Structure 1
Amino acid sequence: MRQKIKNKIKQISLLTLPLFAKMVLLYSFIVFIILLIVSLITVTSVHYIMERSIEQDLYSSADSTLEYLNASGSIDSAVFTRSNLQPFVNLQVYDAAGRLLLDNGPAHSIKNLSDRYIDDAIRSDNAISLPETIRGSETGMFVYYKKWKSRDNKTYYLRFSRVPDKENAFISLLSKQLVASVLLSLILTVISGMYLTRKSLAPLSLINETLKGIEVNKLNQRIIIPEAAKKNKEIQNLSQSINQALDRIEYGYKQQQQFISNASHELRTPLTVISGYINLLDCWGKNNPEVLDESMSAIKSETDYMQQLIERLLFFARSSTGTLEEHFAELNSANILEEVYTGVLLIADGRKIVIQRNDAVSIYAEEGSIKQMLRIFIDNALKYTPAGGSIYLSCEATADEVCFKVRDTGIGIPEEELARVFERFYRVDSSRTKDTGGSGLGLAIAKYIAKGNNARLELESKLHEGTTVTAILPRYYKKKEHSQESNDLVRMDDHTRMT
């Protein structure tokens, strides 16, 4: 039974309510608290003002009565008409024995034949003085006392009182009106809040329904906000952000699909060639040395090509799960270019490779990837430079940057193709053969490497004149500690070595 009650409580919990209901309840609660506080302040303020007004009436009545008595010198009933008593103020006059002499109270009210404060003062022979401030009795009556002596030296006690019946009735009525107003305001707040909140959150329902309908094959759908909802900047900004995110997702998905399609195509071609040569060997090439040599050479070539392609595909797969920056270190630019130059001399194959300039400065990057990037540039230059051509390497340092340049005297790239050569699997039409064009992944890998090393790439080319690729990295300045000035930035000495 207890468990059922807990389940029921969970079902009606605020956490299960829809968003608009939570907002309405929260808004209504805040409005209710504000109205309640305002009502309490109003009632308290009115009550305080009325009390001060009653006290002022009693003070004024006492002053005017004493002024009259001092002028007349005796006590008589004329004091009620000539002493300018304030309305609703009652005056009782007691003699030195504490007996009531005069009273202008209503005939139906109970007469105060004696008063305990006056009696205490008389019994103590005025050792206990009368209250100096206005006192509110248990019945809510306000009382003020004054002592007066006549010309014949008789002592009288004056008791000024006021019953705040009208004031209490007004405060009671005001309290009821405020309670009714608060309840009515709360009901109106809930009703209007539900309407306005539903209307304001209506675009969110549209966004939700649109997102529910977006699938892998429907990534082109976008959120369309009605004109009336466009005035809501928050909703408009949210829809724009979601649409922009969908644009990026669609672009990435299309890139992925294109990548898979291109990779499948690139892998299918060598597999087809290998399969064809295997069938050729199986049919009649086993005993034919020429066919056997040709087939083995082709299979080896296609296998090497597939190995390179798979390695580059794996590079992109690995690059999405890590960062090159984790392996950054201070590197000497001249050493990097020299090592790359030494490694590519063996594959020059009739092309001349020359280091024109090699500045030795510091860079902060990942060594292996920088070398791989330069090898990709040189490999492309070798592919598109005919035998007898030249490839020029250089490392040029400025005050802020280090530029690695690879320039060839090859066939060049058409100007309209320059913007696309860094795309995956893209190859210029004039060189779409595996003998020269490769897989089309090299420059895409180089672009990724440059981005991971905080570098930027520049490409210049002219048909039949050659191509220049430049990788620009920020120069690195090391902090050193000195005996006089610590933590100063010291620029490393530059020295240029020509090769």
Structure 2
Amino acid sequence: MFNRLRYAQISTKITCFYASVLLLVLILTSVLTGLGVYFSFYHQAEVEIEISMNHVLERMHQGRPMGDDFWRDDLIMPGVVLRITDLSGRTVYENDAHYPSIRRIEENTLKNPPFWANRDMQVAEVRNMTIYHAKMDVEYQGQVYQLHFFKTITAEKHFLETLQKILFLMTILGFVLALLAGYFVSKRILLPIREMTATARKIEVEKMDRRISVPPAHDELSELAETFNHMLERLEAGFKQQQRFVSDASHELRTPVTVILGYSDLLSRWGRQDEEILDEGISSIRSEAEDMQQLIEKLLFLARADQKRQVLHKERIELSELVEDVMRKMKLVTKTHTVELLENAQGVIFADQVTMRQMIRIFLENSTKYTPKGGRITASSHRLPEGGFIQLELADNGIGIAKEDQQKVFERFYRVDASRTKAEGGVSGTGLGLSIASWICEQHGIEISMDSDLGKGTKIILKIPLVEG
């Protein structure tokens, strides 16, 4: 049963739990009520008998004769029956001749009275009555008498039996009502969750624009709906990004593959006889293959980054030495532009040297691609006044980027337009370099910003944290 309940619906679990708790409360209440009634009856009878016993003993110790004056002033509590017998068992006094005889009461005395009864008194069941019986021997005026005090605890025994039946029926009725109430309440409470489930089932990969309606009450369910909607938005954005990524990657790979196939076909037909066509074909195929290799390496880098498998070996690095080395090599390979290193502040950073070098090169290569021949590319760094950071600025006087495109250029495969893709004979790009540079900045806690205008050039600003001490 418990195993079945473990795998039952939440509404069933709530109903069973609610009903079980209420049943336990009802049973406990019924038991305590019954015990309280019994204890109250017995305790009241015990108190009245003890008061009557004390009054009689006090009057006997005064030595008064057992006449009318002896029994004045309400000596016996109302409801208490007193019988006095001598040593032979003869009744010398009683205040209720119709009460059951002593012999009959003693014959019906319970051997195992209730635990709440006084152990110095006896309990007898006679007809429908429960009688409390206390007796004591007293010497009075030279003779020994036995005093019997009786008190009826319940005038009608069926009263308590009826009370017990009522309590039992109320417990059963309460349990049934708890089951019904728990069922409807759980259904009502879990209705928003069922609606969320139904909506989630209708959501497909191709149609992720549906959202779960958020309940008006600001409770856990509304928080769950908002969280689920937020998750759907991220999933939708991820799927769209993945589709765009696959589409763009396919497009980027299709062009070089088409060129390679075209030149291969050209070479197979006329390349063997014409050396000029052979040289042109081999050169073009090599160029396209190199472009494909770069594209595939960038795709693999981003794939490892997305899967958090791109390993970084961070260590303490002198940034000025790194920047100087990158700029020196940039000058050697760049013959069509002026490359200058301006201010180069010293500062130790904690970073992966390979990826940091790769990031700076990406920005510098972009400047080379999109700056006309004869243009100027500069790098400078200085410590910020607030301390703890060094600012590296990489600038050019190229074609620039429009304000509305400055944040999009860090998206994968994004390129502003055809004129920027190939500027005055520059090398066409894949739109992945800045995405890689952005990821490297994120992994090193580097804040990246851009200052650019069309026709006025571009400045990349990197706020790099320094190592303390």
Measure how far apart 1:263 and its partner are: 0.7
Maintained 8 Å contact 1:98/1:114: no
* 2:317 match: secondary structure: strand
Q: Could you tell me how far apart the structure 2 residues matched to 1:106 and 1:192 are?
A: 57
2:349 corresponds to 1:363: yes
Equivalent position to 2:132, from 120, 142, 145? 142
Equivalent position to 1:208, from 188, 192, 197? 197
Aligned to 1:460: 451
- Counterpart of 1:409, as a letter, is N
Aligned to 1:15: 6
Deviations 1:427-457 (A, max 9, x none): 1213123833411110011111111222221
Equivalent position to 1:302, from 268, 285, 288? 288
- 1:309-324 alignment to 2 at 5 Å? 309-322=295-308
Deviations 1:140-186 (A, max 9, x none): 64344556554x44443423222312385544333222211111111
Q: Could you tell me how far apart the structure 1 residues matched to 2:44 and 2:187 are?
A: 50
Measure how far apart 1:32 and its partner are: 0.7
Measure how far apart 1:138 and its partner are: 6.2
Bigger drift between 189-198 and 276-285 goes to 276-285
Structure 1 moving runs of 4+ over 6 Å? 113-116
2:183 corresponds to 1:194: yes
Maintained 8 Å contact 1:50/1:167: no
Aligned to 2:429: 438
Maintained 8 Å contact 2:45/2:152: no
With normalisation by structure 2, the TM-score equals: 0.86
Q: Could you tell me how far apart the structure 1 residues matched to 2:80 and 2:262 are?
A: 124
Equivalent position to 1:341, from 320, 324, 327? 327
Aligned to 1:240: 226
Q: Could you tell me how far apart the structure 2 residues matched to 1:63 and 1:199 are?
A: 65
Q: Could you tell me how far apart the structure 2 residues matched to 1:135 and 1:57 are?
A: 13
* 1:43 match: secondary structure: helix
Aligned to 2:115: none
* 2:206 match: secondary structure: helix
Q: Could you tell me how far apart the structure 2 residues matched to 1:141 and 1:113 are?
A: 12
Aligned to 1:159: 148
* 2:51 match: secondary structure: helix
Maintained 8 Å contact 2:349/2:466: yes
- Counterpart of 2:47, as a letter, is Q
2:416 corresponds to 1:428: yes
Aligned residues: CA RMSD: 3.0
Bigger drift between 436-445 and 202-211 goes to 202-211
* 1:405 match: secondary structure: strand
Maintained 8 Å contact 1:134/1:143: no
* 1:218 match: secondary structure: coil
Equivalent position to 2:338, from 352, 376, 380? 352
Q: Could you tell me how far apart the structure 2 residues matched to 1:457 and 1:281 are?
A: 47
Aligned to 1:26: 17
Deviations 1:41-69 (A, max 9, x none): 22223333322211221122224434555
Q: Could you tell me how far apart the structure 2 residues matched to 1:38 and 1:364 are?
A: 70
In structure 2, the CA distance between the partners of 1:84 and 1:314, relative to structure 1 (3 Å rule), is same
Identical aligned pairs, as a percentage?
Answer: 30
Aligned to 1:386: 372
Maintained 8 Å contact 1:325/1:365: no
Q: Could you tell me how far apart the structure 1 residues matched to 2:16 and 2:350 are?
A: 58
With normalisation by structure 1, the TM-score equals: 0.81
Report the count of equivalent residues.
Answer: 450
Aligned to 2:208: 219
Q: Could you tell me how far apart the structure 2 residues matched to 1:78 and 1:175 are?
A: 45
In structure 2, the CA distance between the partners of 1:189 and 1:79, relative to structure 1 (3 Å rule), is farther
Measure how far apart 1:418 and its partner are: 0.9
